[in-house]
Amino acid sequence: MSKRAIILFNLGGPDKPEAVEPFLFNLFNDPAIIGAPGPIRYLIARLISRRRAPIAQEIYANLGGGSPLLPNTQAQARALEMALTQPGEETRCFIAMRYWHPRADDVAREVAAWKPDRVVLVPLYPQYSKTTSGSSLKEWQKAAEAAGLTAPVSTLCCWPEEPGFISAAAALVRETYAGALAHGTPRVLFSAHGLPKKVIRSGDPYQFQVEKSAAAVVEALGIPQLDWLVSYQSRVGPLEWIGPATDDEIRRAGQDKVPLIVCPIAFVSDHSETLVELDIEYKHLADESGVPAYFRVPVVATHPAFIDGLARAIALKDRQGGLSCAGGGRLCPAAFGQCPARA
């Protein structure tokens, strides 16, 4: 019986209050996040993590003191294993978190000990960015080499328009939209984590792919004259970030007196940015801004269409080999030089 290892990558999150500061340090010490030379980056990461830890601990206090991202990702891993099961082959999903446990080094050693015949790398970020998927894949490569992992590797670098993902997201938006109609004709805000503009200017395809995802969901919805747009949340620091900003769009919805539906288009699992930022902080802002009604679309999580679609994309990538977007090849125009997929 052949053995196939699927490595699922995600951000990670602190599992208890005392893990918040080291988690933040790991985040800001990543050269993909802060590009300063190592010693300077280390000092900056120490400073930022110490300053932000008390604020972040208050955020995670709303979640019982820690992030639910790992158990949510574990549920997705179990669902994918079931969807990928086939006669004559054993498939096992491993989870490697970028900034908290389980870290890539430990997971790579575990995978090597399992001795798979093939490995498929799958970031759980629908849209590629060097700051997320790119950072995780780079760390994994080093960890796999150190662990002596030599099995053939395939990489699914992104899947912003994967049909199962789009179908699941559209179904969840459609259900929310139907409920919101009781308050008037709603506006749909597809909210994604923001990035500094300089990252996008360097050729990072993230914003391009986020907009492709949102447009695909809108097409799948088929709602005539739908009022919708893409916005970006979670700005940090003094740099200029891509926009429009989600908080600004919430205020505009209040001025326009339209019900607001917020869909987290770049997140497939609940964590602090959905359960706190969207559900608590932005809901409060919507109330303050005079938004008639505020709704948040659930993440795709283990929605059957999403799991089945991602499983199909993984199986196809396993057969194709190499590194590419879902379906094979490269989605991004040549101008996006940070896209890792071959042309």
What mean pLDDT is predicted for residues 231-249? Answer: 93
Contact predicate 133/9, CB 8 Å: yes
Closest CA to 193 of 179, 185, 178, 204: 204
Dist CA 122 CA 157 (whole Å): 7
Q: Does residue 343 register a pLDDT over 70?
A: no
pLDDT digits (tens, 9 = 90+) for 34-63: 989 999 999 999 999 999 999 999 999 999
Q: Does residue 21 register a pLDDT over 90?
A: yes
pLDDT of residue 238: 79
Dist CA 186 CA 226 (whole Å): 8
Q: Which helix (H) or strand (E) holds 180?
A: helix 163-180
Structure token digits, residue 153: 């590797």
- The binding site comprises 193, 273
Residue 142 Cα to chain centre, angstroms: 22
> What domains, with CATH codes, occur in the chain?
17-61 (no CATH), 163-296 (3.40.50.1400)
Structure token digits, residue 142: 């080093």
- The binding site for Fe(2+) comprises 193, 273
Q: How far are the Cα atoms of 163, 194, 275 from residue 63, in angstroms, in the given order? A: 32, 22, 8
pLDDT tier at 236, thresholds 50, 70, 90: confident
pTM of the predicted protein model: 0.96
pLDDT of residue 172: 98
